[in-house]
């Protein structure tokens, strides 16, 4: 869905005093995001930017993304966009974020062109980059914003999430016996979950649609985008979501991912497994609720994965 032309004109007018000569250019993403819509713009000197426009209901996503981009700017070796200007329009309350434009295309857009060896090497690099991102530490688990919900320990955070996800699972037709198995599985790993040393900056969607690689030539990670879901969390929760995504595309590369990240010892592997179960449960709930094409098959496959994993 494209940005409404009238709204876009208002946003550009709001930005023009700060960014003289700002105007649209021909750049556009291959796929629009689920929350914000993005377009390419340039200033009067020809410098390229990305303009992201958020609906009025997504103000917290906007504020989270701005803060996450600033925090990511502290991380050596991981390149993300930098915020240039942001705010909200008056009566419409539409939000906007002007950010620097990164080179490259989505890994998802090149996946079909990469042979197995290069895909594995890139997956290992993604693991290393995610480890770098997790060098930014927080104080409590939960929302990135100061006024958002947070919990003091990893175990409390996981218990709350497990309760929310299993309740929704039951509401969307999930069998109670499997919900009980998931709860027992989490409880059985209480000590390993509680061993998390503390919360770090987590992207929470560190997957091929948000990771940039060069448009041609040897694939390497050259950018990380879409930080609107960032939070303070167990670093292995972030890795688990990436691993679940890798498992869908190339299961053999899950090892390269965890080796690149540096998962160490049985306790960390078990903690990683707990978080992957919760991510699979969250995805299953979303599919059962939203019902995209082929949703019944996807729900059945995720139920089978949950049963096997617990």
pLDDT at 263: 98
Domains in the chain, please, with CATH?
5-100 (3.30.200.20), 105-309 (3.90.1200.10)
Q: What is the pLDDT of residue 67?
A: 97
Q: CA-CA distance, 182 to 282, in Å (whole number)?
A: 12
Please, what's the b/e burial string for 232-243 (b: 16 or more CB within 10 A of its CB; e: otherwise)?
Answer: bbbbbbbbbbbb
CA distance 232 to 251: 28
From 54, 50, 52, 51, select the one nearest 35 (Cα to Cα): 54
Q: Is there a contact between 79 and 223 (Cβ–Cβ < 8 Å)? A: yes
Q: What's the longest Cα–Cα distance across the chain? A: 62
CB atoms within 10 A of CB 188: 12
- H or E segment to which residue 184 belongs: helix 176-188
Nearest residue to 227 (alpha-carbon basis) of 28, 56, 122, 86:
86
* pLDDT tens string 5-57: 888 999 999 999 999 999 999 998 888 877 889 999 999 999 999 999 999 99
d(CA 76, CA 231): 19
Q: Which residues of the chain have pLDDT under 50?
A: none
| pLDDT for the residue 262 | 98
User: Beta partners for 278?
Assistant: none
Distance, CA of 116 to CA of 7 (rounded, Å)? 44
Q: What span, in angstroms and rounded, lies between the C-alpha atoms of 58 and 60?
A: 5
The pLDDT, as a whole number, for residue 101 is 97
Report pLDDT for 68. 98
pLDDT of residue 91: 75
């Amino acid at each position: 869905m494209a940005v409404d032309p009238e709204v876009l004109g208002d946003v550009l007018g709001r930005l023009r005093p700060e960014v003289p000569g700002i105007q649209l250019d021909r750049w556009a993403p291959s796929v629009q995001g689920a929350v914000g819509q993005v377009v390419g713009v340039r200033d009067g000197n020809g410098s390229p930017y990305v303009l992201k426009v958020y609906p009025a209901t997504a103000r917290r996503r906007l504020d989270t993304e701005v803060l996450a981009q600033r925090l990511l700017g502290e991380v050596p070796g991981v390149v993300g966009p930098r915020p240039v200007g942001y705010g909200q329009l008056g009566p419409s309350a539409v939000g906007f974020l002007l950010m620097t434009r990164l080179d490259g295309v989505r890994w998802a857009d090149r996946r079909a062109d990469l042979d197995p060896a290069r895909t594995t090497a890139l997956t290992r690099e993604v693991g290393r980059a995610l480890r770098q991102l997790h060098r930014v530490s927080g104080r409590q688990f939960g929302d990135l914003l100061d006024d958002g919900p947070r919990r003091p320990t990893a175990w409390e955070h996981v218990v709350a999430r497990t309760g929310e996800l299993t309740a929704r699972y039951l509401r969307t037709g999930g069998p109670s016996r499997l919900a009980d198995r998931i709860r027992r599985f989490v409880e059985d790993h209480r000590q390993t979950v509680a061993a998390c040393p503390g919360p770090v900056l987590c992207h929470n969607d560190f997957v091929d649609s948000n990771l940039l690689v060069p448009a041609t030539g040897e694939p390497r990670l050259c950018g990380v985008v879409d930080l609107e879901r960032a939070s303070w969390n167990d670093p292995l929760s972030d890795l688990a979501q990436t691993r679940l995504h890798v498992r869908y595309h190339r299961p053999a590369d899950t090892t390269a991912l965890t080796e690149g990240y540096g998962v160490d010892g049985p306790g960390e592997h078990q903690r990683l497994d707990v978080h992957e179960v919760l991510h699979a449960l969250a995805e299953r709930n979303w599919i059962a609720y939203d019902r995209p094409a082929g949703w019944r098959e996807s729900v059945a496959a995720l139920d089978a994965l949950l049963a096997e994993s617990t």
